[in-house]
Amino acid sequence: MSYLDEEIAKLEKQRRLEEREKRQGNTIHQNLREHPGLEETPSPQEIMEGILKGTLIVEGTEVSFDKTSLMRTGICMRLPQEFVKTLGTSEHLVYSNEKLEMNLMMQWIKPVKAMSMGQFKEIMQQQFRSMELGMNWMEDGNVVPCDLQTRYCVFNSSVANGHVFNYQAFIEKGDYQLIFNVNGNLERWSHWKPVITGMISSLEVTDL
């Protein structure tokens, strides 16, 4: 493929993405017009109750949650059923939602050594600098409530057509760690932040 063909292909891909985002935006606005109450931001308690009951309104659209066992971790969690599993092994899980352009990834590992959030932040910043990519550290802390000790962080980075958020949580269980990662368009972050927190808070330990 020539350079010109590549540029045309990029422009066509960008046009399709913009048209899809516009259609999604129109659908959301239509839902909000038809159901004005959907625009109200639910409290963390209401979000948690919705996740546990299995139904929640996110961005004006109903999202269903189901209790899901995670690999061989002895952990289960309520996950959104609109996300389709694209990879499932004994140590890796990947779910995607093409319409939302969001991904949910999990990895079950046995860390070689403990790492503080400060050390992780420094490593990530160095990696982005080495690739000459912009990165903005947004926040970090502990997920509360949660049955297992869980630290999290959020940062955003630049991509060809905007910015994406990256949410990463480290769930400790014995000598092992479940790494829980969600990424998507930064504009969705304010809607999905409390939902992601609620998903982790829904965690249950099924073995000791």
Write the pLDDT tens digit of every residue in 182-208. Answer: 999 999 999 999 999 999 999 999 986
CATH code of the domain made up of 41-205: 3.40.1000.10
Domain positions in the chain: 1-38, 41-205
SS3 162: strand
pLDDT tens, position by position, 10-41:
556 666 666 665 665 555 556 555 554 445 67
Phi, psi of 14 (to 5 degrees): -60, -40
Query: Is the separation of the CB atoms in 178 and 147 below 8 Å?
Result: no
Q: Distance between CA 47 and CA 55 in Å, rounded?
A: 9
Q: Are 85 and 93 in contact (CB under 8 A)?
A: yes
Q: Whole-angstrom Cα distance, residue 162 to residue 53?
A: 34
Q: What was the pLDDT predicted at 160?
A: 81
Record the tokens describing residue 190, joined without a space. 């304010």
Are the beta carbons of 189 and 165 closer than 8 angstroms?
yes
pTM of the model: 0.79
User: Omega into 194 within 30° of 0, i.e. cis?
Assistant: no
